[in-house]
Amino acid sequence: MPEINGREFLQNEIMMKCKRIAAALLAVVQLVMWLAAAVPAAEPSSGTSGGAPTMDHCIGAYLYNFENDEVLLAKGTEERIYPTSTVKIMTGIVAIEALGGTLDKKVVVTDEMLSKCSGNRIGYKSGETVTVEQLLYGMLVNSANDAAIILAYTAYGSVEAFVDMMNEKASRLGAYNTYYTNPTGMHSDAMVTTLTDTAIIAKYAYTLPLFMEIVATPKYVMEATNESDYRNIYNRNCLISKYYNVNYYYKRAIGMNAGSTTQGGYAVCAVATEPSTGLTYLAIVMGADAVEKTVYSYVNAIKLLEWAFTSFKYIEVLRADKIVCELPVQLSSTLDYVTLVPETAITVYLPAETVVETDIRYSYNTYADTLDAPVQTGQEAGTITVLKGDRILGSCALVTTSSVARSEFLYFLARVRTFTGSRFFKAFVVSAIILTIGYILLNAHLRERRLRKRRR
């Protein structure tokens, strides 16, 4: 057995200790990595610009900004769901387009109309005379089913014909996955829609002034009729009115629709605006639950709207006084250059956390490398484009900030240089030279001939 001297023994001991330390460190690293993988990732916080709010206890949610035609959140938008009372948005559209010009028209309620009614009702009586306007307010403010049925008869003679018009309108708007079987929203297994379709229909309803005026009404006082004293009709959308529940009132809300069925759950379609910012949003939550008296259609809609109002705003990404570049000026004896600035400021709808100095970049070009005097203030000389990442935010012209007079002497010299450098001038000079040479040669030839004649 070979002998191991003291130095070799010490080296072997050191190597063994290093291996044991390395193995221990590797085990610690593996343990840390396993623990990190076991800890769930944190969900984005609600109501901050750091991320969209989480949508709990609902099938789908949708958030849209009208002014900039921008969808900010979309969850479960293509799932087929029961529309519940959002049906009345389409009912209101069809009724207003058929009867909106005859709001004072008198309608006599019949037994046939009332026989088709179930669910929430105003309580119209057979033989009662009401107006189209009263029926529209009853349906769109209180979500009354009897008002919807009476309007269907008044507009197209029957519920069936009215529903046909609802489906035709949905198809014309592009809501191809929606099918209606009644104008009230009472459950039917065959009546389905999607969040995408509901958004299409709601956006169209937003363009109808009478529709939006009615759905924004917290309380409508219906005048006395031949069968009833006056009625106080309160909005069933708790974002608009505190009458049914004070917990979900939202001061920025300006209307739309809310309701529920056992099969379809709770739904709300809400439009809200903030005049100081000039921003208006559409929030839709469908297929939501009610847990321990908490209605998640309202909870989620408010979360969406609050997030939108706090996390997005108009930001000036290009100032009108921003000096972009300098451009040399020729033919002037007073100024050698002018500065270029944007013709207008550019303001864009962006996340509120956007930092212009670091997140925004600019690309510009000028129409020429120099300008010739005279130059006028505001003269267009190029373009500038504003970008955020690869997204183009806008563009505008670059204009001069000052006027520059022309030096007539320099202008004259420039004209001379231009003329002498032109093809015409060069061709003229060449032609003149050729003619001169030809003339000299011809004279020489004639002179020689005359000399020859004299010699003879």
Per residue in 298-318, pLDDT (tens digit) is 999 999 999 999 999 999 999
Residue tagged 């390395």 (tokens): 22
Residue 408's pLDDT is what? 62
Instruction: Give the total residue count for the chain.
Output: 456
319-400 has the same fold as 60-313:
no
CA distances (Å), origin 304, targets 202, 207, 270, 380: 17, 22, 10, 44
- Euclidean distance between CA atoms 392 and 291, whole angstroms: 45
Residue 3's pLDDT is what? 44
Residue 31's pLDDT is what? 41
Residue tagged 């009108």 (tokens): 320
Domain ranges (residues) in the chain:
60-313, 319-400
- Euclidean distance between CA atoms 169 and 208, whole angstroms: 14
Q: Dihedrals φ, ψ of 451, to 5°?
A: -60, -40
Pairing mode, if any, of strands 70-75 and 106-108? unpaired
Helix H or strand E encompassing 142: helix 132-142
Quick one: tokens of 393? 């935010």
> 319-400 has which CATH code?
2.60.410.10
Partners of 130 in the β-ladder:
107
Collect the ranges in the chain with pLDDT lower than 70. Answer: 1-50, 407-422, 425, 428-429, 456
Q: What architecture is the 60-313 domain classified under in CATH?
A: 3-Layer(aba) Sandwich (3.40)
Q: Dihedrals φ, ψ of 53, to 5°?
A: -70, 150
> If we measure between CA atoms, which residue out of 46, 56, 156, 43 comes closest to residue 98?
156
**If 0-12 CB within 10 Å is exposed, 13-18 middle and 19+ buried, where does residue 393 land?**
buried
CA distances (Å), origin 445, targets 98, 432, 439, 442, 449: 104, 20, 10, 5, 6
Residue 437's pLDDT is what? 85
